[in-house]
Amino acid sequence: MSVPYHRPRRLRSTAAMRRMTAEYRVDPAELVLPAFVREGLSEPNPIGSMPGVVQHTMDSLVRASAEAVKLGLGGIMLFGIPAERDACGTAGTNPDGVLNKAIAAVRAEVGDALVIMSDVCLDEFTDHGHCGVLAEDGSVDNDASLEIYAQMAVTQADAGAHMLGPSGMMDGQVAVIRQALDAAGHQDVSQIAYAAKYSSAFYGPFREAVDSQLKGDRRTYQMHSANRREALREVELDLEEGADIIMVKPAMSYLDILADVARISPVPVAAYQISGEYAMIEAAAANGWIDRKAAIEESVLGIKRAGANIILTYWAAEMAQWLRDRS
């Protein structure tokens, strides 16, 4: 029997060897923590389908943002849940609305030490749960929604957001927001564009997290999961409109899309590890079917390996602590 000269196993022989030769590593600065703040709470409210995640009070959100700075996280993405909703989502454009007050509170706490991101979308604020306002026939009115997005964007920038996340998948949203920001003197406020956001069954726990009022689905504006080339078209359009960062959402079932986008994008690429991905791992781990920590780390590393420069994950703070403990 001839002895092989090439033995790849040599570089797997010890933990130190594997660590030294690892091709990809996750850094806390690449992680963004999504966080929910709900109006009227006196204490954080656990989200049943997302063990370990809560709807924050204003005070607990501020504490979470301060902890994120200590852990070296890259950013925090804020979502607001108002006490009252209406057809036009007016709580989203109200400077005293829960999300805008949360942005201001977090900015007062952390300043520029953390990238404060905020969701520019109407789904949390409308009584019908759609990401835009409705036309008379019940469809989502793209252009009327853009007008409200522009107002939301300026209000959030006024409150202190560093980066806005238009997530509604309305055509032209990045351009309209960019124009509104520039006209209001917010030229330095950036956009992380949800460029390739797919209609997914894995958003279920998020609907609980934001107390969604949605009946039906969002298939007329979020992308069809069967489409791959279309994602590149969406990315190219958002880049033309001035997106500063491009995002793919969800991550788990769309790693091929993430890799495609990473190959062509001249700007940083983000991916959102969504609520359903989180819930599946937590549920399997709770049943003793998988090693929780190993599964979390592997799932996040897979997103990094596929091409993400920035990863939004509900495990951001926990992972950052693990990375710190390991160093």
Classify strands 31-38 and 54-56 as parallel, antiparallel or unpaired: parallel
Measured distance CA(168)–CA(178) in Å, rounded? 15
Q: Considering 70, 197, 215, 293, which one is annotated as catalytic?
A: 197
Among residues 70, 101, 215, 249, which one is catalytic? 249
Q: Quick check: is 215 catalytic?
A: no
Helices (H), the chain: 15-20, 58-71, 98-110, 142-159, 173-183, 204-209, 229-240, 255-264, 275-286, 292-306, 316-326
Length of the chain: 327
Active site residue 304: no
User: How far apart, in whole angstroms, are the C-alpha atoms of residue 230 and residue 171?
Assistant: 13
In three-state secondary structure terms, 25 is coil
| Residue 295 in tokens | 């599964």
85 and 126 Cβ atoms separated by less than 8 Å: yes
Q: Which residues are catalytic?
A: 197, 249
